A and B are shown apart, each in its own frame.
Chain A
Amino acid sequence: MNQTPQANQSTDHLGHDKLSAFIDGELAPAEKQRIEQHLSTCHECTLRVLSATQLKTATARAGQRFAPPPDALARLTAQLHSQQAPAKPLQTMKTQANLPTKTPARIFSIRPAAWAALAAAILLTVSFLGWRQLHPTNTLAAELLDQHLATLSSSATPQVISTDRHTVKPWFQGRLPFSFNLPEPAALPPDTTLKGANLTYLNGQPAALLLFTIHKHEVSVFLTQRSTSPTLTTLPNTRSGFTLHAATTPDLRIVAVSDVNPAELDNLIASLVQAQKPI
């Protein structure tokens, strides 16, 4: 897009429009690359990009605000199906000529309520799957398990090795477009220890991977931003002998993977959920 000469230098900070277009994925590859190069050296612009991404995500969520009421949904769905004369008179606008009848009258044998139910089912599917590109749940389960298994290998070293939540939490600051809290050690379930953490990606979304042990069992806990992460309601509870349990808070999606007994895994998840609640 229209670029000023000085924007070609990677030392320049991102302008507002460029930053905006960058997070929308609207820049040409060369320009995108130049900006990525600048971001790799400029902490300030990196934070601005993260902040802008966060605002975009929040806008996407807040902007999906008005769902059609059931009766309106039924009327509009029926209208679409028949494209007969409107199912109810217009409330505020004058229509011009009605459409010629294009479909047989059989449609009227179906009650609006049935269409409402059908439409609701479709809309539900659409809102879960349609607007964001989501991977199938079993793919996600496989990805979670793969990442957990990778942490088990003896050569794997966490990017942050610390049992101290005051070290681990700030490490993610500026690396993730969201924040989270870690429980006090005293608030963790018995014999549960924080070992370290990694920055990782799930379905292309940045995620915090927290590594715990419960007794001698390794536990991987993935934290993602709720508004951008896929719906996990149908995540299988177990896969290849490992337990996968999930929980959500208003902001976060939490998934834990381990071979420890499921009740103890749930205690850890509960302590993490508890830690997110405002004091």
Chain B
Amino acid sequence: MSSATTRSAEFEQLALPLLASLYNHAHWLTRNPAEAEDLVQETFTKALRAFDSFQSDTNFKAWIFRILRNTFLTTRAGIAAARTVFLEDHPDTLDTTASGPTPEEILLRLDNDATLHTALEQLQPQLREALLLCDVEEIKYKDIAVILDVPIGTVMSRISRARRTLRQLLQPQLGESL
């Protein structure tokens, strides 16, 4: 076996278990199955090409998600997304005047996935992206910061803001809790 073959076998071994995650995330980014597949395909092509520069002591998942994201940003949809103005990341424009939550706010009825899907779709893309990397992909803040190319404090505030926004979006649809 040539070393290139070994290397690509190693790449396959690392990438195959992430295929479903990458596709899911690509679909959230592109909002379209055909574009999601193309994005993952392009990501695999670029990632293998760059795989020689991958350090085996770094986080492969974060590395390949970063490639996925950078690839997305070069697509038409990605360029459009990057152009949208985003009120970031410092001034707190959400309503935080209420001192504490009321009991009704506390226990959200989250047994209905469709409700949450709708709310996730309504989130600003930058917030949704950070939240999905954290909650679905279980990637640590420091690695999300690498993927998104932002400071770790921005990751923290985006995730926090995403959750508050989700909560507000879910609020009108709340049933009685417990």
- Residues in chain A within 8 A of chain B (CB atoms): 1-2, 13, 16-17, 19-21, 24, 26, 44, 47-48, 50-52, 54-69, 72-73, 75-77, 79-81, 83, 86, 90-93, 95, 99, 102-104, 119, 122-123, 126-127, 130-131, 173, 179, 250-251
Contact = CB atoms under 8 A, between A and B. Distances in A.
A75 B33 contact: no
Closest 6 CB pairs of A and B: A66-B27, A63-B136, A58-B110, A20-B160, A62-B116, A179-B178
Contacts of B141: 21, 24, 26
Contacts, number: 183
5 contacts: A75-B37, A76-B37, A76-B44, A81-B12, A91-B37
Nearest to B4: A102
A104 to B, nearest CB: 8
Most B Cβ at <10 Å: residue of A17, A56, A119: A17
B57 interface: no
Interface residues of B, number: 67
Contacts of A99: 45, 48-49
B134 A24 contact: yes
Given A62-B113, A250-B111, A69 B101 contact: no
Q: Is the interface of B mostly helix, strand, loop or mixed?
A: helix
A1 B45 contact: no
B12 to A, nearest CB: 5
Contact of B19 (A21, A80, A95): A80
Nearest to A169: B178
Contact of B33 (A52, A72, A126): A72
